[in-house]
Amino acid sequence: MVEEHVIRLRSAWEWVEALDETNSPRPAERFALPLRWTDLEPQKRVKPLRMRRRFGAPPHEPEHQRVIVRLESTPGLLEVRLNGRIVEPTTDSRDRPILEGPWRPRNVLELVTDPRQWPDPEAPWGGQITVVVQPLHAQTM
């Protein structure tokens, strides 16, 4: 039996700040997941945060496999955008939030979270955001 292939989206995340105080675009600030509330700068602890991660669609055989994104360990998640569209995550058989395509060769995942809704300031946030290639017969994994 072919197993899942899991790709962790830990590095290369960017904070998305539309404009700074002078209405100029701000340079992207990169970071890695997981995050802890105590890792955030004080000004980032008091408002919803938008983060972005670009990734390529992994090679797969659509007639035998599907590609999903799992969004585990993401309390306080307010909004999810995939390639510019707001999407509602569904859940798999283990009640894990997932996103299903359609996928492009290059994709952009944007998440908005509110750190004030994270239940434990020391618990890691976002350490289990993954791209998963699954055999079609194993969709309940």
Burial class (CB within 10 angstroms; exposed 0-12, middle 13-18, buried 19+) of 61: exposed
Per-residue pLDDT of the chain (141 residues; tens, 9 = 90+): 468 889 999 999 999 865 455 555 566 789 999 999 888 888 888 889 999 999 998 888 888 888 899 999 999 899 999 999 999 888 877 778 888 878 889 999 999 999 999 998 889 999 889 999 888 875 544
| CB contact at 8 A, 67 and 132 | yes
**What three-state secondary structure class fits 13?**
strand
| CB contact at 8 A, 13 and 52 | yes
Task: Report d(CA 28, CA 14) in Å as an integer.
Answer: 6
- As a whole number of Å, the CA-based R_g of the chain is 16
Identify the CA nearest to 70 among candidates 136, 114, 133: 133
Q: What pTM value is reported for the model?
A: 0.83
Structural domains of the chain, with CATH: 5-18+27-138 (2.60.120.260)
